[in-house]
Structures are given as C-alpha cells and as structure tokens.
Amino acid sequence: APCLGRCSWLAMKRGPCSGCVGVRVAVGRTRRWVLGLVAVVIAGAAPASSLECRTAEGAATPCEPLDVLVNLPITGSWTGGQSLNVSGRKMAQLINEQQALLPGYELVLHVFDDGCEGAASNKILLQEIVDNEDKYVALGGTGCSATSQSTASIAPIVRMPQISWASVSAVLSDRATYPSFFRTRVPETSSNTAWVRIAHLCGWAQLIVVKGEDSRFGFQASGFIEMAADEGIRVLELESILTTQDADRVISNVVSSRNRLVLMITYEISIQYFFCASISAQVEGLLILTKTHGDRFWLADYEGKNAEQCTDIGMNKRAEFMIEVGGIGFRNDTMGLDCVTGWSSSDYKAWWDDFVHQNLGTDVLWVANAAAGNAADGVCMLALALRQVLAAGLSTDQLRSRTREAFDRMNDAFATVHFQGVSGELSFPAPGSGDGAGDPFGAAVIYQVQETLQGVEEVVVGQCLTQDGTIIWSGGLVWPGNGTAPPATFQDCEIGQEPDGISCIPCSAGSFKYTTGSVACTPCPIGKFSGTIGASACQQCATDTITKTIGQTSCESCSYGTTSSLDSNMCEWDMNFIVTAFGIMGLSAFIALRLLCRLRREIKICDISVVGTRIIITTLGCHQIWHSWRRAASTPMMISGTGIEGIDNISHKGKPIFRVRVCTRRKLELMVADVDSLGQDVASSMGCLRQPLLFELFDTSGFFVSLPTLFEVSLLVVVVIFKSAFVLDGITGAAATTGGLLIGIVSVSVWRAVRGCARTPIQQSLDKFQETLALDIPYPIASERGAGRAISADKLQKLHNFFIDHIKERNMYYVCKNLVIPITKESQLSYADVVGPSMVSWFVSHYWGTPFREFVRCLRKHWEAFHLQPCDASYWICTLSNNQWKIEEELGDHIKVSSFYLALQSQTCRGTAMVINHLSLPLSRVWCLFEVATTFERTETEKEDSDYAGLLLCTPSGVLNKGTADMDIGIQIAQQLLRTDLRNAQASNDEDKRQIFDIVNGMDGGFNSINRFVRTGVRNALLEMHRAFEDDFDRIVRTLKISSSTLQSMLSASSICTSLEVSSDRSCPASSSLAAAGSYVKLVREHEAECRAAASSQEEFGAVPAAGQISPTSLGEEVRVRV
C-alpha cells in the first residue's frame, strides 16, 4: 500500500514513509514466524513446550512451570488483544529460552478471550480458580479498561496478583477502590497535565470539554476540570457525544459560544461524529485536544456515516492541527532490555515491525496495536517480581496457593521493580503513596496532526513527563501560516453583522443588529420590515399594510374587508364576513358529510332470525333508514354475506328483489311472502345490507329537518350558493366552499375507516375464540381425511358453550356458515384440524336441521351412557371433520372413497351414533341413509366383534339402545318409523342420491334389509328400555315392601329431605316419571351423596313437580301405563 494509505497499527504510523510500505497483506498469505517464534495461540491453554531449563550454575534441570492466567480481548469492541497476545508470548519465550532471569522455571501464559467485557473476564478468573485451585501465580493481560475494573475488584479477594498490559482508564488510578492493581501503560490521567501545560503555552484561557460515556470517561473529565480550575483555565461547558444528534448539538453550542477550543475525552467514533457535524454546519478553524487513538482514526468508516458529505478531504481539514496525548508503546532506542540479554528496545521494535509486515490481515493478527510493547513489559515486570520473591525464599507452592504472604510480597515486588523495558524505563511510586501507586512513571507522547509531504499525518512533537509535568519538545507545535497559536475564540462581529461559523456576514434582509459582539442578527418584529442587508434597525409598515410573521422583507396589503391594526401586526376582519365564511365552510363540510355518509354505505348485520312468521334483521348500530313520511312503505335492499342461499345477492336485472321495512332504529323486517320458501337455514349473524343509489338519498333521514337526506342537502346547497354570491367575494366563497368540502371528505373517510373496523358481536366472539385456539395450536396443520379427523367431546362442548348466546336454538346450517367457516378461513383446514384432531371412536349421523343445542345434548347422553369422559370420547361429525373449503376433495370421485366412508369403516370406530328426536328426520336424508347402510354392512360383517356397537339412537333424554331414554320418545320414534320408508330419503344433490341408492340396492336385501335393520334396532332399544324399567320397578317394590300409602309418604319431598337432613333452603324434587321415582327410592336405601347427585341429574331434564303432588293412585296409574 502507498504511504497515503492508512497504516492500521500505532507503532508504524510515527515513522518515515518506508515504515508503511506493504502493511496490507491478503488473508490466506503464507504465515512466517520471525526470530524463532514457533507458534502463536490465539486463545486457550499454552502450547506444549520442549524447553530445556538450566539451573543458575548452568546444569540442565526439568522446567518447573509458573502458570499465568491471561485474559485478553481477542474479540470484542477493542481489537488490540491479538497484538498483546503475540508480544506477550514472544517476551515469555525469550525469557524462558535464555534461562537467565528465572533459571529452572518456565513462564506459561494461559490466554483466554474475554471479549473486552468485564463480566466475561470475571467469569474466566473465577472459573479457572475453581477448576485449577493451586495453579496460577498471577493474572496478566486485561487489556481493556472495563475488564481491568472488573477483575481488579475481585483479584484482591482471591489474592491474585494482577498486572494490566494496556488499560489506560483514569478510574483505575483510584487506589482506595483498586488497591492491588498495577499496569505497564501510562494512564490517561497523564494527559490532563499535558493538556493544561499546552493550554498555558498557547494562551488559551477557556475551552469546551466533551466526554464519552460517564462510566468510562467521567473520572478523567472531572479530574481535568478540577485541575483546569486550579490553573485558571475556564471550562465553558461539559458536553457528551454519544450519537450524531449529540454532535450536532455540541457544534451548535460551539458556534453560539464562539469558542473554538474543544477538549474531547471520548472514543474515536465521537470525534468522527463531531468532525462530520462541523462539516454539515460549515464550521472550520476548530482547535481539538484529545487522547491518542488509532492512526488517522478520523478517516475510518462507521455505521451511518454520510460518505458524500464527510469526505476524507473534509475530515482531514477538521483534524489538521489537532493535538493528541497518549502513552508510549515502543521507545525504539538502543537501551538494552533488562529482561532479555542482547536485546534493545529498537531490536524488539524491529522484530515487531517484521512480524506485523508478515502477518497483518491474517487470522494471526487482524489489526496491529502499539500496546504490544506494553504487553512485553508486563511479562518482563512479572518475571522480575517472581525472581525477587523466589530469591527471598517464597516457594512456588505458596505462590500457586495464593497465600496472604505470597500476595503481599508479590505486590511489594511490583511496586519496587525498576527496569529498562520495551516502552522505556519503568518504575512505580512508593507503596502506600495513594492514588496512582499502580501507575508507572514515564512520559506521555504529544502528537500533532500536520500536513507533510506524505499527506496529513500525526507527528510526534514532544513528551510530557508524568512525574512533574515537564514538556520536552522534539519538534514543537505548528500553526496556520507558521504563526503563533490562534486564539481560543472566534472574532466578534460589527453592527449589522452576525457570526457564520468562524467568520462574520451581514444581517440578511428582514433582520437587524444594532450592537457589536458574537450574537446573531434579530428578525424584524411583526409590524416592521427590513428590505436591505446589513441593517441596524427595522422600519414600521404603512397604513393598511401588515407583516404577519417576524423577519419580513416587506409589508403586505390587507385583503378585502379588513384593515391593519394600530401595531400593523394584523388585519382586522369584518365580523359578518368571518361568520359567513366559516358558516359556508361548515355547511359545505356538512353537505359532503351527509352525502358521502349515505352513498355506497354498507350496513353490517348482527343477526337474522325468524320471529313467528317474520324475518327480523338486526343491524350494527342505527341503520338510518327513514320512513316517517311514508311509515308503511318499504325500501329495496341488496343483501350479501349472510351465508343464506335464498337471500344472498338475489337480484333481477341488477336490481334487488328483496325489500325491508323499518321496525326500530336497529331492526328491519325482510318482506317475504313465505318464510318456508327460503329453506330451513334462515338464521345468520353476519352479512351486510346495501341500498340502491337513488334510495340511499330518498329513504335515509336528514339531520336537521324531518325530510329525506336529498331534500335537506338540496336546501343547504341553495343557502351556500346564496351566501357565496351575495356576501363574500368569489375567491373567498370558493375557498370556503372547497375547504368545507375537503373537511367533509376527510371526516367521512375517517368515519368510514372507523366504522369499517367496527366488529359485530359474533365477530368479537370469533376473535376471542380464535385467540384461545391460537394458544393451544398456533400453527394447525392438515391431517388425513377420514378417521383421523374426529373431534373430542370436550372440544365440541367448548364450541357450544362459547357461542351459546349466538347459537340459541339454531341448527347446524348456522353453525357451519357463521362459526366453522370463519374460524377455519385463515388456515383453510377442517375445524377438527384447527382445534386438534383425534382418532374416531364414534361416527355421528345427524340431520343438519336439528338445533345444535339439542345435537350436543344428545351426544352428551351418549358419552354418559358409555361412562366416558368428554376428553376420551371422540366423534366424527361431518360439519367439523370435513374441510368445508374443499368439499369436493372430501367426497372424492365416489361415495366409497369419501371421508364419510373412510371414517365409518375405520377399525377405531366403535359404532354410529344417530342424533334423533321424535320426528326421526335423519331417516329422511339420503346421506343418513348411506351412513345407516354402511353401519348395517359393517354390523353384518363384524357380528363376532363384541366391541362394535352398531347403530345407536341418541335422543335428548338418553340412548335408546342403552335403555336410558324416556319411553315416550322411544314410542314416538317407533311410531314415526312405521310410517317411514328409507326409499323416500331426499338429497340436495341428485348424483349423491343416485350413488347411495345404487349402493343400498347392491346390498343383500336392498332397502328392505336397511329398513328392517333400523326397525330391529328401534325394537331392540324399546325392549331394552322396557327391561330397564321393569328392573327399576321390581327393585322399588322389593325394597320398600310397603303399601301405596307408605310409598306416597316416602316419595314426598318432606320425608326424603328430612331423612337425608337436606338443608331447608333447597327443595328436594320428586319425579313425574317412574324411572326417576325408582332412582329416588334406591337412593334412600343407599346413601346421602348418591341421592343428591340423582336430584341434580333430575334437574337436567327440566322442571320437576313439587313434593306431594304424586298420589298413590296417580303413581299406580303411571306404572300401569308404562308397563
């Protein structure tokens, strides 16, 4: 790379051009190890050593390891960790190979990556102490100040001697907080002294201080402010720059205060923000003091940088003459190193330069850093301290076990070392000398950014000694024009001028300034103007002219109907003119509002129900259809989205055929001649209404008068035209009308948006229900159609109970269209898939016209009859198990490949539960015929299978086949069946009917067999009910052995309740059915808990006659009729 390219490491940036050549090495280049360096381990334990140790007398001896824990930022926010690692290991290698400093011992560095994070460094330290209790003799590395602050708090507690190789934070000089912390790099506190000395030298008496985050730079900033106050230097402001917005604010303050000298105690990125902000504000000539950073750091890219504006040229211009102060990494002289015989500081620097040249940009060394020299001194200092304590009689076991004596003697050794290192001569203040006792004596290097033949570079101009603050200049500071240091403030501006960055410009037209100084020009107040630049005063506006805002260059005339006020700051309006203009605007807005609210509006439907012989539609909110002037009239209406085939989108030649009549503000009556002609599913909780265009104006009510909307709007239009023509001028009238119309349009748009988001009651319930489903199954997936798509009874109950207020007495048509389809709309799956499918246990055959509440009640009787828990009973229900979005796929090419057939023939299906009542309507539907026929076919083929229950007739009072239903409904079903022939079954699809009839006719016996199968099932169910009834009756007679009078007294509520000690605030009901009476008598014989459970179960059947209403005669008659 040419010299004008950026060198990435601090050590090379100070030398001549030749020092920068070739530093950019492609990744993957062959790595060469220089001067006997065998390997570099980036992190982890030290590599295996083949070192041959010798005694002080030169005899060979096994090496005794001295293990050192080294935490370094190999990764993280600071990239110097690799440089410290390489240099520290090199110094340890040289000491080990020479065997002069620690004969018989080997320094072993165990390097771990702390990511420049204090918590990570602490974790490594504590973990290694726990895992290797008697191993480490010291802690080194901790290159980041944040990690040093963390470990320096713990190290004294675990008695671990610590040397930091690169931390420079001023906070670490606080000896009360960090009593045993030592470092080999000069701290940032030395920069404060240098900055104060430079300020005095240049004659600067005031400046602005900018700091970074308080936890990192607050201590140093506070120390500088205190030192500056003692030295008579005034700090105008203490600012923080953490974002680009902060930088813009500080630049604004710099300009307003006219102070050009800024001390920046912060990170590189904050200075980049500051330079970029000064370019945006066109502020030049700033004087910057800061600490040392990377080579030409201000040119580095950063996230969010405006590359087009903040160019390298502009950033270099802001950086020129900037003064940096920081510690020394490599002294680079011929002084010999005390730790390595035959090596000088310049030799070590030459090795480092060569190593960087060979490895920069590879995995070994991503970025070079001059703190590598301080790392070498850290290893040297540790070796010298170890030699001292070992020579004084301290054993290695004491060092490894970290005894109090070993810890104290190591810290004493650190404090008293005095040696020539890579970075120069190092020594420390006397032990117990207070703050800074762990900071090395040395010098802070002073750099200035100057324009050289090679471009803008940081040039060493001197050093500041840390002991007494003496500055030793090597080249001196350079200023513009080779003159003296510029002042700390920008020049003052004359009358009629204002500051513009660092210069002064004339006041712009519309502003003035009547004094000298650095304040900005003042805009002319309202009522005055200035038409020239550089004005010292503003002029008053003439009569009938005004200025409405400050800073005007001329006055404007008052418009029609107004005149200027005394102060020429406003035009006074004619009140009639104002009222008329705003009135027209309001009326125009109202016209637009009324028209647009009525036109093409949709009226959301909350409910459609059949009430007697009328169809009543309930709307969401007021429907605003008005018939006061023709009360009995109706209006045409297009209906859509209800899911009712006989109503949705029915029209003739594009005109709706349905009409509605107003009942109340929220209810309309759908005018139909015959409700039954619409089918059995005239029930919905969704959809919308829409009127034809003309009727939207005639059949909707006005707001002010009892007339249709069209009449009201027409009247208002006439008023607006009259007022605009005869009171206002044309422009004002048109503006008021247009403004009002726009307001009306915007208001209607907002109203329509809000109204469009309004949710009907069932939509709100669906939203809540789907939220509960999403918690259980957030991402439903499709299952195979057929047997695996059943639904458990508890999920069926959940659906019914959640929507019971909407379902009421409505049937499965309503449930499918208003609940199942909306719930499954997003996933396009079956309802069973959405709530979680189960394997079929029972196939449900049912008639869709059966009320859903009765449907659920019948199935509840079924699982109770089989003593099943709701979660264990799974039912295949076509509405819930079929994918209603893919019905054609569910049916397949033939009935026998349909999902119905697959579920019926499943081996897990234990039988068919037919939901039936006294009307026996399922037997009139062809699909129920198919299900019965398939059940019959399977019953015939599985006669030996005792687990298959066949066809079960489930009624609201119980299962006929189990004898748990009322005798009345059983007899009614039997009577209905006598008049029913399955050949008369109907279907909505003729092709389905044909296929099913073909299947039935193809069976043995055809329809006769199926009819006989059903009748036989009902007959057997009646016999079972009869048997159960007789068993109950016999049990009563045998148990009681009493006369009918005694039976009457036992059945009385007072006797039962008294004998069972039931509380007086609850009645004990008697039953009107013999089965219920038998249950009560049995419970008397058994125990109280069962009696109460039976009483509760009786309440489920409905109202029960009060106690004492059953006489022996009526009971005997009931028994006779039942038998």
Q: What's the mean pLDDT when you consider all of the chain?
A: 80
More confident residue, 512 or 937: 512
In whole angstroms, what is the distance from residue 758 CA to residue 434 CA? 73
pLDDT tier at 895, thresholds 50, 70, 90: confident
Q: Render pLDDT for 640-685 as a digit per residue (tens, 0 to 9).
A: 888 887 788 777 666 777 888 888 878 888 888 777 777 667 888 8
DSSP letter assigned to residue 625: B
- pLDDT tens digits, 1016-1066: 777 777 777 778 777 777 888 777 765 454 445 545 544 444 444 333 333
Bridge partners of 546, per DSSP, are 556
Distance between CA 296 and CA 10 in Å, rounded? Answer: 10
**What pLDDT, on a 0 to 100 scale, did the predictor assign at position 726?**
63
- Taking Cα atoms as reference points, which of 688, 678, 600, 675 lies closest to residue 638? 688
What pLDDT, on the 0 to 100 scale, is given for residue 1114?
Answer: 40
Please tell me whether residue 635 adopts helix, strand or coil conformation.
strand
Residues 6+ apart with CB under 8 A from 736: 581, 582, 584, 585, 588, 724, 728
577 class by beta-carbon count within 10 Å (0-12 exposed, 13-18 middle, 19+ buried): middle
pLDDT of residue 631: 52
Q: Which of 889, 883, 869, 1013 is nearest to 940 (CA)?
A: 1013
Residue 325: C-alpha distances to residues 229, 237, 262 (Å):
20, 21, 14
Q: Is the pLDDT of residue 48 over 60?
A: no
The dihedrals phi and psi of 915, each to the nearest 5 degrees, come to -80, 115
Q: How confident is the model at residue 942 (pLDDT cuts 50, 70, 90)?
A: confident
Q: What is the DSSP letter of 165?
A: S
Where in 655-751 does DSSP place strands (E)? 655-656, 659-662, 667-671, 688-690
For the ranges 16-30, 42-56, 787-801, 1002-1016, the lowest mean pLDDT is seen at 16-30
Is the pLDDT at 610 greater than 80, yes or no? yes
Three-class SS state of 700: strand
pLDDT of residue 928: 82
Q: How far apart are CA 352 and CA 365, in angstroms?
A: 12
